Amino acid sequence: MQSQNLQGAQELLCINAEKVYDWVILQNTVNQNVLAGALGLPAGFNPCDPSVTNLTTRCFLVDEDGDPLPVNAEVEVEEIEEREDRTFVIDGALVTLQRVTFLKPLCVRVEISGVAGTTPFVGVTDPIGIEIPESVFLCAPEGTRLVVRLTDVDCSVRINCTGTDFTSIDIALNLCQSIQTVADVTLELEADFCEPRDILIEQCPAPVIPPQCPVLFPGIPGE
């Protein structure tokens, strides 16, 4: 079979793509108290001991297995109510949107570190489940699905003590999330075919002739 040069050749193509029907950025703040006994820390772990200094905390989002979530990770959500049509007036036009209510399950881990007397210590909790109910108006007709990605997360922790006893922690999550309604579509478009670029080849340079002194040698003829 003889190969053909596709450069400049156009053809009507059908491609599968994901169409975005609506897209918003939503901010949410969540606070949750967790008892010390539910954190999964080693027995006797007590950041409230009077001998503890340099106490610091850190929390981060993880998946169900406890591995850190990457930036812009998609979060599996569950719609918990039927979508409801609502009519809005936007720029003078009537627009029908759907109220989408969903439950977003997240997991966080908390790291607590410090120095007990002269001995440094670090404790990392088991994954702590946090369920966040949310509702938002979107263009979400039947057949579209919800895609939620966390674009930015700020997490802080406060340790609660009763006297010298470690009782609980307070977790505060500030979330920025990208929420889209999407559906798979097949698009028809006219386009050029792509070709691979040329391979870069390192070539040897031409020999370089050292500069001469023709006036001095071999001299100018007749002089």
The pLDDT tens digits for 164-178 are 999 999 999 999 999
Give the burial class of 108: count Cβ atoms within 10 A of its Cβ; 0-12 exposed, 13-18 middle, 19 or more buried. buried
- Of the candidates 106, 110, 103, the one whose C-alpha atom is nearest the C-alpha of residue 170 is 110
Q: Which of 67-71, 106-110, 196-200, 215-219 has the highest mean pLDDT?
A: 106-110
pLDDT at residue 38 above 90?
Answer: yes
In this predicted structure, the answer to whether residue 223 has a pLDDT above a threshold of 70 is: no
Average pLDDT, the chain: 88
pLDDT at 1: 41
Nearest to 129 by CA among 158, 102, 105, 157: 105
Q: What b/e readout covers 159-195, taking b as 16+ CB neighbours within 10 angstroms?
A: beeeeeebebbebebebebbbbbbeeeeeeeeeeeee
Is residue 83 within 8 Å of residue 131, measured between CB atoms? no
Res 71: pLDDT: 82
pLDDT given for residue 7 in this prediction: 54
Residue 124 has pLDDT above 50, yes or no: yes
pLDDT for res 84 = 92
Banded model confidence at residue 202, pLDDT cuts 50, 70, 90 = low
71, 84 contact by CB (below 8 A)? no
pLDDT for residue 147 is more than 60: yes
User: Greatest CA separation found in the chain?
Assistant: 110
What confidence score (pLDDT) does residue 10 get?
A: 77
Poorest-pLDDT segment among 85-99, 116-130, 190-204: 190-204
pLDDT of 217 reads: 66
Question: What pLDDT score was predicted for residue 136?
Answer: 92
Q: How far is CA 54 from CA 30, 108, 116, in A?
A: 27, 23, 9
pLDDT tier for residue 90 given thresholds of 50, 70 and 90:
confident
Q: Which two tokens stand for residue 62?
A: 């993880």
